Amino acid sequence: MFLLLKLIRLAITGICGLVLFASFRADDFVGLIMTLVLVGFVLSILWLVPMAFRHRPPRPPKFRDGFTPAVAHDNIALDTGQNILWIRDPVRGERYLRATEVMGARTAHDWRNGTFRQRIEVRVNDVVNPQYIILFERHSDRWINTSRINGVERDNWFDRLQVWAGLASIK
């Protein structure tokens, strides 16, 4: 679908180029200025608006001193040397956990605003914040293939989390 939209955008850009070429041959200076303004407006909408709304991956994580992850993702990392898990929840923020603090985990996804959001829900030994949500959104979820990639990454991290914490399968 996006390939078709890109081809349409290129076709409209070509038509705008032909209109500009034809307007340079005319003797009307005011018409030339009006054509330049109109073509500039159309081209700015065609090329700048998609750039403003493109998918941006989350910011890279910054870990505390001494935490060196053996494996890491955008919102989860595991330091096997110290046996510490780092997670980042979009609402509750970052947290460092030991294996004894993790009570359970499950995978889930939801459909929101035309995208699948892949996530792992982690239950921890905390009264104030008993559940943390780890999102997997490295790849744009607007396409089925990239949503599957996020789902595979989520499942891989769920398996790592189960082995690390010694959890039974709750999926």
Give yes or no: residues 82 and 144 share one domain: yes
Distance separating alpha carbons of residues 142 and 139, to the nearest angstrom: 9
How many structural domains comprise the chain? 2
Instruction: Identify whether 66 is part of a domain.
Output: no
CA atoms within 13 A on the CB side of 24: 6
Please check whether residue 94 lies inside any domain of the structure: yes
Cα gap 149→14, rounded to integer Å:
35
Q: Let me know if residue 147 belongs to a domain.
A: yes
pLDDT tens digits along 65-92: 888 899 999 899 999 899 999 999 989 9
- The answer to whether residue 65 sits within a structural domain is no
- Same domain for 118 and 154? yes
Helix (H) or strand (E) holding 105: strand 102-112
Q: Quick check: is 116 in a domain? A: yes
* Residue-number span of the structural domain to which 25 is assigned: 2-52
**88 is written with which tokens?**
């980042």
The tens digit of pLDDT for each residue in 134-159 reads: 988 887 656 666 678 888 999 999 99
Q: Would you give the distance in Å from CA 94 to the centre of its chain?
A: 18
In a domain, 90, yes or no: yes
Name the token pair of 51.
């750039």
- Total length of the chain: 171
pLDDT digit string (tens) for 2-36? Answer: 677 778 888 888 888 888 787 776 577 777 788 88
Q: How far apart are CA 72 and CA 138, in angstroms?
A: 12
32 within some domain: yes
- Same domain? For 115 and 148 the reply is yes
Confidence (pLDDT) at 149: 85
In this structure, are 80 and 43 located in the same domain? no
Q: What is the mean pLDDT of the chain?
A: 83
